Amino acid sequence: MSYDARHIANWFVARAGQESRSLSIMSLLKLTYIAHGWHLEMRKAPLFENRIEAWQYGPVIPDVYNDYRKQGVSISSTDPRHNVKIDDATNALLEDIWKIYGNMTPFKLSDLTHESGGPWDIASKMGGNYAAIPNELIQQHYEMKRMKAQQVQSA
């Protein structure tokens, strides 16, 4: 099932709220992007269809940015317009993303999405600021991450 990126962002805001935390707008954008990347790698299908762009400071989903930035830098409220039931398989994936990445600082998350040769880097170099980052680039990047992790485990 494909969602709107704001459904996924809402999930992360609600999940942070379960721990009495808020998320920075940067963390929210990065977590949503990372979840999309791993979904592409694992399921070979987009988690959402929203446009992802290469902004100066990393990959940004403009729909998420525009809806949640109204809260300021710290996001603590879900957007009721984007409350939907997330299916069990996607919920499990998002929970795994949260466990791995949810406690990382916004700057650590930013570093992870700014890798040299990664989707943001390639899109920025090819199209400049606000260039679209295609799902094919994102999927290839996360497939490479999986391959490298498996090589480390088997070494």
Q: What is the pTM of this model?
A: 0.96
What length is written for the chain? 155
Query: Above 80 in pLDDT, residue 155?
Result: no
Residue 4 neighbours by CB under 8 Å, 6+ apart: 48, 49, 50, 63, 82
* Res 28: pLDDT: 98
- On average, the pLDDT of the chain sits at 95
Instruction: Kindly state the percentage of the chain with pLDDT values over 70.
Output: 99
The β-bridge relationship of strands 53-55 and 23-24 is unpaired
Say which DSSP state 155 is in.
-
Report phi then psi at 60, rounded to 5: -135, 140
Average pLDDT over residues 132-151: 95
What tokens appear for 80 in the block?
């009721």
What is the Cα–Cα distance from 123 to 131, expressed in whole angstroms? 6
CA dist 67 and 5 (Å) reads 11
